[in-house]
Structure 1
């Protein structure tokens, strides 16, 4: 069993088809994370969803895609998301801590050391660090590709034994995920230069990334010695499978 992991949850796992926050699925994931904590697993949660939560709170605002608009959605949505996490984790006797970061924090030695020291202190207690990009100040070169990239950097920072990336699909397929003839690829060698031939150009709505980004981050992270499991965050009990030998998605190692 892994002793320290990083779990990244994508926007499409945390929101419903209509864009509203999916409290039912978030509650299920929190229950599973709490179970892992009870088993002695140290973990960091990298959570998307702030922008979606913000759009729900400002439904009549014109969404022109501008950077300032995204900043507004994220700023108010992050409060909504963290309050939801606080309430749900409290039901399990756990606290949650907010950690916001930009790409610059991983480039600056002082910022990096300060963030690492904070993570080390948080992981010692019954606390779940909840990490997201600091959209209020992250623009252009300070922005991550998406939270998959942020999760990979956090996993390496804290010395995680595994990185779990939860999306709205089971993993990497050899064709379109919704095609009956497509097969799930359960294992990917991070040194296989042809692995990206399976990546579909289309990405799901809501998030900034797609399977291409997930596979790139997964291979980079796996080459650093941290196995990566990609799975469907809407599959019931998906995180309980970390306590078993077989992962029901794609593993990059």
Structure 2
């Protein structure tokens, strides 16, 4: 592949590009103006050939470290949020200035899990992206770190980028980091070689992915491969390479590692539900309910419930667990956990007769359910 241009890249009309913190900042944590400028030039080149671009940029927390006198990414949530508050404005301001040199308008999009799992919020997020792109703007995306309450990340910005790629119906995802591709072992290890292509999951058998990211970032190769899997399983090819190779990668050259799409497009909102949330509780179901969910794509009804674990409220994500204790699905529940015990194993007519028409609704509607 290295001797010819990649059609997956050249044919892509809408591209999501993700860049990591270590590729944007100085070792002390401040923004590196030259790196921002170089990336802006590359993205402008992609736009000039007629493709739309959405940028998922890490670096808000890293950019806020030096101004606050910090030398390393803090562990405490409040300190991370403070750094993000300072750094996000600095980061977007720099992008805005650099892209303006190419007459490109930027738009900041800060996302939370609720924005893309709850139906009305998801629709609003999707429409915002559509309108920004329609106006010719270049959306710059990050998680809304400053207002995160329990966990500051979706998991990592690599995963966020994969999910944004679904949200905007992208044709390609490009993950830029400080490593020039996926290697069979840690780069520098004797015998380690770069994988130029990954066409199926079996291609990763025996590959030592590792787990540690940079001092200013949160991810590592594990998160990048995980993000690539999310994207390719739903029909979006992925190029993984280093920021220095951005221009070559986006020109279709055979740099980095190309992950070929292996699956078909799926509901983006449900992919967010499956990959960007954790179940806050669980619903235990019988074998009949498992079959109905898995084989028929049915909604989860009270008749199939056998138990409930945890405390949650209507609208929260919960795991659906079969008789063997294995979670088979995740969905947005329509009842509070304290209401579930009186529903166990009962038919809808029974519940309506005893409690009224409000109890005729599904426990989890099929439109809010994702098989795991």
**TM-score of the aligned structures, taking structure 2 as reference length:** 0.64
Partner of 1:26: 36
1:124-159 Cα offsets, whole Å, 9 max, x none, are 233110000101122335731110111011101111
Q: Moved runs in structure 1, 4+ residues, more than 6 A?
A: none
1:241 to 225, 229, 249: 249
Report what 2:227 is aligned to: 217
Q: Is the 8 A contact 2:29 2:72 kept in 1?
A: no
Cα distance in 2 for residues equivalent to 1:224 and 1:196: 24
Which structure has more relative contact order (CA 8 Å, sep 6+)? It is 1
**2:257 maps to what in 1?**
250
Q: 1:190–1:220: 8 Å Cα contact kept in structure 2?
A: no
User: Which segment is superposed worse, 76-85 or 185-194?
Assistant: 185-194
Equivalent position to 1:114, from 117, 124, 127: 124
* Match of residue 142 from structure 2: 132
Cα distance per residue 1:59-91 (max 9 Å; x no partner): 159975210000000011001001101110111
Alpha-carbon contact 2:72-2:215 (below 8 Å) kept: no
Structure 1: gaps spanning 5 or more residues: none
Aligned-pair CA distance for 1:190: 4.2
Residue 169 (1) aligns with residue 163 (2):
no
Q: Tell me the secondary structure at the aligned position of residue 99 of structure 2.
A: helix
Cα-Cα RMSD:
1.9
Q: 1:35 to 1:194 in 2, by over 3 A?
A: closer
Corresponding position: 1:15 with 2:28: no
What TM-score results when the alignment is normalised by the length of structure 1? 0.92
1:82 aligns with 2:92: yes
Distance 1:144 1:190, change over 3 A: farther
Rounded to whole Å, the distance in 1 between the matches of 2:32 and 2:203 is 37
- 2:53 is the counterpart of 1:43: yes
- Cα distance, 1:198 vs structure 2: 2.4
Number of matched pairs: 250
Q: Distance in 1 between matches of 2:39 and 2:192?
A: 27
Asked if 1 retains the 8 angstrom alpha-carbon contact of 2:241 and 2:249, the reply is no
- The residue matched to 2:207 in structure 1 has which SS? helix
State the Cα distance separating 1:19 from its structure 2 match: 2.2
The answer to whether the 8 Å contact 2:19/2:58 transfers is yes
1:65 aligns with 2:103: no
Give 1:239 deviation, angstroms. Answer: 2.8
Per-residue CA distance 1:164-208 (angstroms, 9 max, x = gap): 000000111111113353211111134328447320243332211
Provide closer, same or farther for how the CA distance between residues 63 and 183 of structure 1 changes in structure 2, counting only shifts above 3 A: closer
SS at match of 2:66: helix
Q: CA deviation at 1:209?
A: 1.2
Measure the CA separation in 2 of the matches of 1:196 and 1:71. 38
Bigger Rg, structure 1 or 2: 2
Alignment map for 1:142-181 (pairs within 5 Å): 143-179=153-189, 181=191
Q: Deviations over 1:211-248 (max 9, x none)?
A: 0111011012101000011011023xx2343233x330
- Describe the SS at the equivalent of 1:74: helix
| Distance verdict in 2 for CA 1:240–1:125, change over 3 Å | farther
The 1-side partners of 2:72 and 2:165 are apart by 36
